[in-house]
Copies of this chain bind each other. A is one copy, B any other.
Amino acid sequence: MGLIVQKFGGTSVADANRIRHVAEIITDTYKKGNKVIAVLSAQGDTTDDLIDMASRINPRASNREMDMLLSTGEQISVALCAMAIEALGYPVISLTGWQAGVITNTVSRNARIKRVDTERIEEELNRNRIVMVTGFQGINRTGDITTLGRGGSDTSAVALAAAMDAELCQIYTDVDGVYTADPRLVKGAKKLDEVTYSEMLELASLGAQVLHNRSVEMARKYNVNLEVLSSFTGHPGTKVKGVVKRVEKTYISSVAKDKDIARIALIGVPNETGTSFKVFSLLAKNHINVDIILQGIGHEEGKDICFTVASGDLERAAGLLKENQEEIGFVRLETNADVAKVSVVGAGMINNPGVAARMFEALYDAGVNINMISTSEIKISVLVDKKDGDRAVQAIHDKFFGL
């Protein structure tokens, strides 16, 4: 019994029936004696439709006006869902970002929440109302509507949970939690009861788009208890928190694969100071994210620099590098899009150096060749041939979690 923030994504409120279903989840929580703040995204494809509409009128519309336009999507969602709750006979009020006191900086379309002035929300909760709040949006100091960019509604929910010191922040989505591996891909994949914030962050960066990193980082900063769960199944989900209890022998929480990745190799880079800087600052300047980087020690004839980029960036990255071949000074550029990245993530591995060895053993047993290796405190990633990707994930999962 306390304050619970519940966030529902666009799929969960896509039509009248789903909105009614969300209204039931919210009122069930309220009936149990909880105070409830529900944060909603825009319905289904609404945001994309609005973007389409805008681009037909002005493909280079200002971000300020885009925010004015896009913020209507969540406003429609909260109003309709409030009506559904009224129909069930419960007291409710919907609030826009500005009404809910979500104050952001002035960066339109990618604003950051600076604080939440909770006065209105508290007032409404004290009147025993369920409070619906538009996700993804706020107001800046000049009184203009701002939107928060990707993952914005998750961030809104976590910010409200932090500001209101909520007991729990539930993120309802179309998957029912975080798994030891992608259940569509790996036999024996199990739902995890709990993961740490750090594990969740690493998983998100591996393409497991359950929660956006911004919201997880904010949850970690303010120590907000998160739960990821499905609005469709009604099953308990996965809790995301600071410290988790886990059966000792496992150490890792999950195995993930990212196949939308490509490798670039620069062969024969001169053995001089500053060449790596030249390569990666060129890519950064052009907003191309680089993931695994591998650089040999080098010898007289020069050194090789290998790194991975998202598949979608491969062509552009290769083009940029070739344009600057003379300045960087490499002899040859090779690209390979037939690769996959396989990673194990787990907060437990910091204190258990055997994890890497176990992972490599699994790959050796399965006959999978490792191209590149990269490690962080709680993650080990290897690059393998794309054809070996699924087999690699299954082998590692079997090794750590049994079949």
Contact = CB atoms under 8 A, between A and B. Distances in A.
Given A16-B53, A53-B80, A143-B99, A68 B75 contact: yes
B58 A87 contact: yes
A37 B58 CA distance: 21
A71 B62 CA distance: 22
A62 B19 CA distance: 17
A197 to B, nearest CB: 34
Nearest to A64: B93
Given A53-B16, A94-B68, A58 B86 contact: yes
B58 A83 contact: yes
B56 A16 contact: yes
A83 B99 contact: no
Name the residue among A64, A69, A79, A87 with the largest chain B CB count within 10 angstroms. A79
A86 B61 contact: yes
A62 B86 contact: yes
A275 interface: no
Contacts of A79: 54, 65-66, 68-69, 72
A83 B64 contact: no
Main secondary structure of the interface of A (DSSP, over half): helix
Contacts of A60: 86-87
Interface residues of A, number: 38
Contacts of A58: 83-84, 86-87
Contacts of A99: 143-144
A397 interface: no
Given A64-B93, A93-B64, A143-B99, A54 B75 contact: no
Name the residue among A68, A80, A86 with the largest chain B CB count within 10 angstroms. A68
A358 to B, nearest CB: 53
Interface string A63-99: 0111011011001101110111011000001101011
B83 A78 contact: no
A385 to B, nearest CB: 47
Given A86-B58, A87-B58, A69 B80 contact: yes
Name the residue among A60, A82, A145 with the largest chain B CB count within 10 angstroms. A82
Contacts of A78: 68
A378 interface: no
A84 B60 CA distance: 10
24 contacts: A19-B57, A20-B57, A54-B79, A54-B80, A54-B83, A58-B83, A58-B84, A58-B86, A58-B87, A61-B86, A65-B79, A65-B83, A66-B79, A66-B83, A68-B75, A68-B78, A68-B79, A68-B96, A69-B83, A72-B72, A75-B75, A98-B98, A99-B144, A120-B143
